[in-house]
Chains A and B, each alone.
Chain A
């Protein structure tokens, strides 16, 4: 159980840190306004590396969300379900 916790926490932290870093680069046009969720640069002005980084930003974000959900909710749920089914069939 503790293993599942730290796996989910690791996914949350790694994904969150990666998302925060790239969002700080591309979605923070100014420190006065919206930060991390601001306007993306226009598509025509992006280089290949910019596009890759912006794609990675979403990957990191959903990795954080689904990683935590998987290890904290999904896997324990499956375990409980399997235990319940085993008990019922026994």
Chain B
């Protein structure tokens, strides 16, 4: 190292000319490549990434730098430039659509009249659907066929059960898998949950679904089970040939020097 640093008579092929960009030996560009990069945007891009690479290399050579298997770019400027590009795209899209396709402004709501169809916002349909589980409320023979609780109480309790299950999942599975194939069962549980959230939302608007409501009620619970089973089968098949070790090594952090 010290030899190279002091020997200035050495022929330089990296175009640095004492300072500036430094290319690694095995990645030294050819003369035609250098010519392509000699001006304009290509030159700017080349210098930019060369400098970023050099900064990364310097950081790695410092002893207190924890080298990671996961390579990443620094927040400034790499991530910020990318975020700026994404933000510009979405802001431009909002401006374009709001200018060219303004939505219809319907009549203001009349607060004196109850609307014909009462529904919560779409993201609460699943909870609204859980209030309609009356048919699952068992008639107990011991009570002479009476129900233990009213259907509406049952629906509220169903909300508690579902939210409780969602809250418990992180405690019974720590989420160490990086890919669904690594834990097919839990991936199947998640898939069934996602599908159930959709079917229970469809159940809540059963007046609007062109289907027999009893069939819809049965499908609400059968489709998630079928989807979970299919997910499990597919992921179990995909396990063959999956390199668990490679994945684990990729995400493990090396200890500091």
Contact = CB atoms under 8 A, between A and B. Distances in A.
Nearest to B106: A31
B104 A21 contact: no
Contacts of A24: 100-101
Interface footprint category on B: under 10
Contacts of A25: 100
Interface string A17-48: 10011001100000100000000000000000
Nearest to A23: B101
B22 to A, nearest CB: 29
B104 A31 contact: yes
B85 to A, nearest CB: 14
Interface of B is mostly: loop
Contacts of A20: 101
A57 B100 CA distance: 14
A52 B203 CA distance: 46
A21 B104 CA distance: 14
A50 to B, nearest CB: 15
Interface of A is mostly: helix
A17 B93 CA distance: 10
Nearest to A18: B100
Contacts of A17: 96
A24 B101 CA distance: 7
A31 B102 CA distance: 12
Contacts of B103: 31
Interface in B88-111: 96, 100-101, 103-104
Nearest to B99: A21
Contacts of B104: 31
B189 to A, nearest CB: 34
Contacts of B101: 20-21, 24
A21 B100 CA distance: 6
Interface of B: 96, 100-101, 103-104
Interface of A: 17, 20-21, 24-25, 31
Given A21-B100, A31-B104, 7 more contacts: A17-B96, A20-B101, A21-B101, A24-B100, A24-B101, A25-B100, A31-B103
- 6 nearest A-B pairs in the assembled complex, by CB-CB distance: A31-B104, A24-B101, A21-B100, A21-B101, A24-B100, A20-B101
9 contacts: A17-B96, A20-B101, A21-B100, A21-B101, A24-B100, A24-B101, A25-B100, A31-B103, A31-B104
